Amino acid sequence: MQSRSISLALLWVCLFLGGGNLLAQDLLTVSGTVSDAEGPLIGATVAVKGTTQGTVTDVDGVFTLEGVDPTDSLQVTYVGYTPRTLAVAGQTNFTINLSENISNLGEVVVIGYQEVKRSDLTGATAVVPAEQINKTVSNSLAESLQGLASGITVRNGGAPGAGAVIEIRGAASFVNTNPLYVIDGMIADANVTFNNNDIESVQILKDASAAAIYGSRAANGVIIITTKSGRKGPIRPALSVTTGIQQIPRRWDVMDAAGFAALQRTSYENSGLEPPASVAADFDPTIDTDWQDEVIRTGSTLDANLSASGGSDNLKYFVSGSHFRNEGVIIGRGFNRTAFRVNSTLDLGRITIGENLVLTNNNIRQPLGGFDTGNPFYDMVTMLPVIPVRGDRYISDTNPGGWGIGTVDAVSYAKNQVAVTDLLREKINFLKLIGNAYVQVELVKGLRYKFNVGLENSDDFSKGLRRYGVTQFNAAVRPSSIQDNRSQFSSLLMEHTLNFDRTFGNHALSAVIGTSDQQTKRNYTFASRSDIVESGGDPFEQINSATGESLAEGGVTTDYRTIGFLGRVNYNYAQKYYLTLTGRVDQDSRFSRDNRTGVFPSIAGSWRISKEDFFRVPWIDDLKFNASYGTLGIVTLGSWDWRGTINNNPRAILGTVQVGAYQAGLVNPDLRWENRKSQNYGVEAAFLDYRLTLSANYYDILSEDALVTNLPIATYLGNLGGSPPVNAGSIRNTGFEFEANYRQQLDRLQFNIGFNLTTINNTVQAVGNRGDGIDYIQTGLTRSRVGEPLGEWYLLQTDGIFQNQSEIDAHAVEGNLIQPFARPGDIRYVDVNGDGQITDQDRSFTGESPWPSLQLGSQLGLSYANFDVSAQIIGIFGNTLYNSVRSQLDGYQNTNFRSDVNPWTPDNTNTDDPRIGIATNDQGLVDNARGNTDRWLEDGSYLRLRNLQIGYTLPDAALDRLSISNLRVYVTGQNLLTLTKYTGLDPDVQGNGILERGVDNGNWPSSRIVSLGLNLNF
């Protein structure tokens, strides 16, 4: 309603302003053509300035106006182009050239199987320029996109080779919120194996109209990546190198050995126990291990790219090679990627042949994951400073390396992370080929047939090495072993499309129909042998070198096929009225025959009011309203989830080991597509000669039949291997997006400011039939209840600290103490259900949300003469995080302590920290350390200077002699400044899956990176 009344008001304003006067004089008939550098412009508006008189150019760019006063001026406008005003001055024939304006509205945007001008978009599509993406040093594209467009939410992974979590317009699935990536027409994941430097442009399809052409894959939005390609001209080599250092911006402030020992003594004494010798009689002041120092290091990054491009009239080519390297900020972790890319197009008149090939070789080095690995972000904080990294006294049968670990005397269950990197090693290699090749034939004018074959192939190999020995107190030792895991992934896409593109007078019509057939497969082989051989402290890494027992596993984890029929029609009348109809029908092998087919239609329309004759608002260059509605789908299943299978892994240990087999996991045969009903209402406007562009969108996306796989399934069913998925959920995301860009060029000074704002209101609509009165899904610390957002905190509520026994006595129901084990100094919990005890029944919604209420992004750019400065700022507001590491520290048990911990004592009552003691046989202390309470929630809002870059372009004069066309050097600081109240290492937390998005489970923080770079073009 609101947007409608605004448009009505604008209409009135326009009519009022547009009212002109007519005076008759000696009138002329003028005509002419309007064109740009490429040729005639169809549908350009030619108006007599100050009147309502006007026309549009025809298919040849020709216009004719009658009754023009010789003293009038002609105003020629075309969306995306700088308007021109020409005095008639008696002239009757005009040749008018327009040039594209600063707004980029004239640029071509890839929308999937078609390209349209940005000004002709009807759906919600964001375009992110490559230059912004490449300002940051990042592992993945998703990480680089953080803050650069409205409607997207990115949470970083941090670790070398780790991807980021990206959501477009909220989370509408319980299972999968990953968008679809389309790289040069190939549907393939742009994960860490993808080199951002190859990107020419990125478009993000956010609504149903934009994304429906990808139908059954598009429900989470689509990110279309167009990579760089060659242009006509001589060979153009280019080189860019960026190298930097990487640091963890913040550390935990925990105690040193003396401080720890003192407080640990107090803790034992408070509990009437004798302190262990490690902090008393045997306290050794020479051991004072700062475990953070031992585990954290200064990382490094290197990103080098070399490319060459060029072409003739018929052949254009682009080749590039790149190397990216990241030595992580935590010991034992690193990532590198070497990529090679080639693409070319061969133009043979009516036939065009082209291809795109990328070969990447990616290596990750990290500790082998498993029970002994732990998480350094917990362990380096909780491990006791009285334990050395190594020591002779720790040498034993199970700890031959003498790694410092907890003992009976200094109990800690933290893993020694230095030992972890020594004993547990993993090298992962992804050798990946992504590419496509196509042939396109122009059948008749405006009608093109294209056959496109895409391929993604990945050979993945991980080698794990487990050396003999424990990493943790009391751990059971396992045999040393070598493990090889090889996996092969392939995805083959075959598409036939027919494109039609014609204009008939004011009618512009473009359409595409086609078929798409994709087969995706993954298999794996795993082999391992125990008892490795070492020589001089170096382990042999080949299976054949080991001497123990062997095992082998293998299988096909994925094998599915999706066949689709797609079509879209774009129609516009004089760039004024737009209609887009899109549809896709997909069939997918991951469903039973009855549920296999999905239909995904959408419709969108736009009205460019600024081209209406009655609209004469000089200060508005462009004003367009968009609306769309449609259905999208997504498959969130494994290849055979709908079919119950027999599990033959169980073994009966009898006189012989015998095979057991049965149906271990329950299945739901009636699995269907997840659907999204998506609506979008938007307005786009340009002002100040297109220097200022604004766009605003309101969206409403309702997911239906959302698959719920992580439904807590009743224990009494005896099900194993995860709960059977059910199409039972529904989630609505609504929100508002706003983007503004201002650009100006003043002589040698250029600047631009981009700003975007996103709100997401997420509401669970249905969770399926969970039984009478059960309208929620409980997941660990959160609950997703109908009417509330996904995964809201559902915890016990604390209410300060009991200051004395009488407060404990007063916390009672009918004379019975609610917390009978509490002592003064303990946490008071709210007995929400009033049953006189604190149980899980007292959990409730805390009223705080892991969802941000507002997300902001801003990009600033400024250049003067040869200097340029740019900045990216992101802000996340209104969310709450669960600080799990702090919950361990402040649980006081078997852990180091925060330096500023201030435990309650009868003499020290003005504190938020409860009394300290040893919890065994003291339920009061156990209760204080409870995990599922609001005590560990913290404000997760932050404002971050994500990137700051200062560059200098060397003057041409200095370069000409070296035949260098351009040389720019720059220094970049990433994550230099973060304003937050969060006490963990980083408020940019990926969380624990979709439903516990705010849980900081020792999240790897975003690094601070300071780098130097060089761009060189010949």
φ/ψ bin of 768: left (φ > 0), alpha (ψ from -120 to 50), beta (otherwise): left
Find residue 597's DSSP bridge partners. Answer: 587
Interaction residues for other proteins, span 793-832 (CB under 8 A): 821
Smallest distance, other proteins to C-beta of residue 341, A: 31
| Residue 514 is a binding residue for other proteins (CB under 8 A) | yes
Interface with other proteins (CB under 8 A), residue from 663, 804, 853, 866: 663
Say if residues 604 and 209 touch (Cβ distance below 8 Å). yes
Tell which phi-psi region holds residue 701, choosing left (phi > 0), alpha (psi between -120 and 50) or beta: beta
Judged by CB under 8 A, the stretch of 128-136, 224-232, 245-253, 560-568 that binds other proteins is 560-568
560 or 755: whose CB is closer to other proteins?
A: 560
Beta strands 84-87; 73-77: pairing state? antiparallel
Q: Which three-class secondary structure string do you get for 80-98?
A: CECCEEEECCCCCEEEEEC
Instruction: Based on the shown chain and the rule CB under 8 A, indicate whether residue 411 belongs to the binding site for other proteins.
Output: yes
Instruction: Kindly tell me which residue out of 303, 426, 456, 588 binds other proteins, with binding defined by CB under 8 A.
Output: 588
Nearer to other proteins, 191 or 491 (CB): 491
Q: Quick one: which of 231, 651, 748, 981 contacts other proteins (CB under 8 A)?
A: 651
Cα–Cα nearest to 732, from 170, 3, 178, 179: 170
Tokens at 12, concatenated: 């009135």
For 306, the enclosing helix (H) or strand (E) is: strand 299-311
Contact pattern for other proteins over residues 342 through 371, marking x by CB under 8 A: ----------------------------x-
Q: Annotate 109-121 with b (16+ C-beta within 10 A) or e (fewer).
A: bbbbbbebebbbb
Q: Which is nearer to other proteins, 927 or 934 (CB)?
A: 927
Strand partners, 735: 699
Distance CA(346)–CA(34), nearest Å, equals 31
Stretch that binds other proteins, among 102-110, 326-334, 709-717, 784-792 (CB under 8 A): 709-717
Of 41-70, which residues contact other proteins (CB under 8 A)? none
Q: Does 726 bind other proteins (CB under 8 A)?
A: yes
> Within a 13 Å sphere around the CA of 985, how many CA atoms are in the beta-carbon half?
28
Tokens of 964: 């260098």
Q: How many residues bind other proteins (CB under 8 A)?
A: 105
Q: Please say which residue, 36 or 586, places its beta carbon nearer to other proteins.
A: 586
Among 26, 38, 397, 814, binds other proteins (CB under 8 A): 397
Q: Report residue 2: phi and psi, to 5°.
A: -65, -45
User: Which token pair is 688?
Assistant: 């100040």
Is residue 1 a contact point for other proteins (CB under 8 A)?
no
Please select the residue that binds other proteins; options are 395, 533, 666, 854, rule is CB under 8 A.
666
Between residues 619 and 716, which has the closer beta carbon with respect to other proteins?
Answer: 716
The residues near 779 (Cβ < 8 Å, ≥ 6 apart) are: 710, 712, 791, 993, 995, 996
Determine, following the binding rule CB under 8 A, whether residue 485 of this chain makes contact with other proteins: no
Q: Residue from 559, 700, 775, 807 that binds other proteins (CB under 8 A)?
A: 559
The reply to whether 563 sits near other proteins by the rule CB under 8 A is yes
Among 348, 717, 962, 977, indicate the residue that binds other proteins (CB under 8 A). 717
What are the angstrom distances between the C-alpha of 717 and each of 643, 712, 722, 724? 18, 11, 12, 12
Q: How far is the CB of 261 from other proteins (least distance, A)?
A: 18
Q: Is 263 in the site for other proteins (CB under 8 A)?
A: no
Pairing of strands 620-634, 651-653: unpaired
The closest of 415, 412, 413, 411 to 403, measured between CA atoms, is: 415
With CB under 8 A as the contact rule, the residue among 342, 346, 498, 832 that binds other proteins is 498
Q: How far apart are CA 46 and CA 74, in angstroms?
A: 7
- Which residue of 451, 573, 607, 640 would you call a contact of other proteins, by CB under 8 A? 640
CA gap 140, 164 in Å, rounded? 7
C-alpha distance from residue 649 to each of 97, 646, 663, 949 (Å): 74, 9, 11, 56
Output 94 or 268, the one with its CB closest to other proteins.
Answer: 268
Measure CA 467 to chain center.
36
Q: What are phi and psi of 808, to 5 degrees?
A: -65, -45
Print the binding letters for residues 419-448 with other proteins: x by CB under 8 A, - otherwise.
------------------------xx--x-
**402 contacts other proteins (rule: CB under 8 A):** no
The reply to whether 542 sits near other proteins by the rule CB under 8 A is no
Of 87-95, 337-345, 550-558, 942-950, the window that binds other proteins (rule: CB under 8 A) is 550-558
* Nearest distance from C-beta of residue 798 to other proteins, angstroms: 14
Should residue 240 be labelled a site residue for other proteins when binding is judged by CB under 8 A?
Answer: no
CB 551 → other proteins: shortest distance, Å?
5
Nearer to other proteins, 168 or 386 (CB): 386
Among 12, 716, 957, 961, indicate the residue that binds other proteins (CB under 8 A): 716
Q: Does 312 bind other proteins (CB under 8 A)?
A: no
